[in-house]
Amino acid sequence: MKECIAVVQDAVINMKDDIIIDAVKKCLDEGLTPIQIIEEGLSGGLEVVGKKFEAGDYYLAELIMAGEVVTEATHMLKDKMDSGDMGKKGKVILATVKGDVHDIGKNVVAMILSAQGYEIVDLGIDVAPEKIADAVSDTGIQLLGLSILLTTMVPAIKQVVDLLTAMGLRKKVKIAIGGACCSQQLADEMGVDAFGESAVAAVDIFNNFKKELGLA
């Protein structure tokens, strides 16, 4: 691992909000892309924070502080990624499902899709299935991404699928899921069209969805 990435990871793991921006800038100066910094440095650091939380070494306070450090860094990187082609590729609805307030991953997916020319309709966190289905119905947007990190909130995915089916919209919409508790197996079980393990994967997924829908 590059030294500057290790410094970013360390700043996340030890919640050093005073050095995170300089650490990220150093990575940019060394030629790393915002995506590399997010995936390897910031997400890599949060992965360790999650493990420490699971092991009982970190509490909710640490989870919150580490999340804030990463949010600060992603805001700074967002400015480096803005696309001149905003919206040219079409629109994607994104939401974190009901009961789940994790939004860093969703926001990273939004940043990277925007940088690739998609316009994002971000419904936010803890979004009720009805609100998601209504957004699809009201806007006519055919690309939907759901973020889920909590295993307990998985049923919310099926609720969205069932609502869209009941509204006669399921076949018109392509749905992708992602987040720490997701897998291809879960995607199959929930009846969605794809699972994406990273924001980079999300780009390929939505590009493919467009082709499958005849929109590309």
CA-CA-CA-CA torsion sign (9, 10, 13, 14): negative
Under the binding rule (CB under 6 A), the answer on residue 170 touching ligand B12 is no
List, in sequence order, the alpha helices (H) in the chain. Answer: 3-13, 20-29, 34-36, 43-54, 60-81, 104-115, 129-139, 155-166, 184-190, 199-212
Helix axes 104-115, 43-54, angle to 10 degrees: 160
Per-residue binding string, ligand B12, 7-46, x by CB under 6 A, is: --------------------------------x---x--x
Least distance to ligand B12 from the beta carbon of 112, Å? 8
Backbone angles phi, psi at 146, to 5 degrees: -115, 135
Q: Which stretch binds ligand B12 (CB under 6 A): 5-13, 20-28, 63-71, 158-166?
A: 63-71
Per-residue binding string, ligand B12, 83-122, x by CB under 6 A, is: ----------------xxxxxxxx-xx-------------
Nearest CA among 103, 105, 106, 164 for reference residue 131: 164
Q: Which is nearer to ligand B12, 93 or 168 (CB)?
A: 93
- Chain residues binding ligand B12 by CB under 6 A are 39, 43, 46-47, 49-50, 53-54, 60, 63-64, 66-67, 99-106, 108-109, 145-147, 149-151, 176-181, 196, 198-199, 202, 205
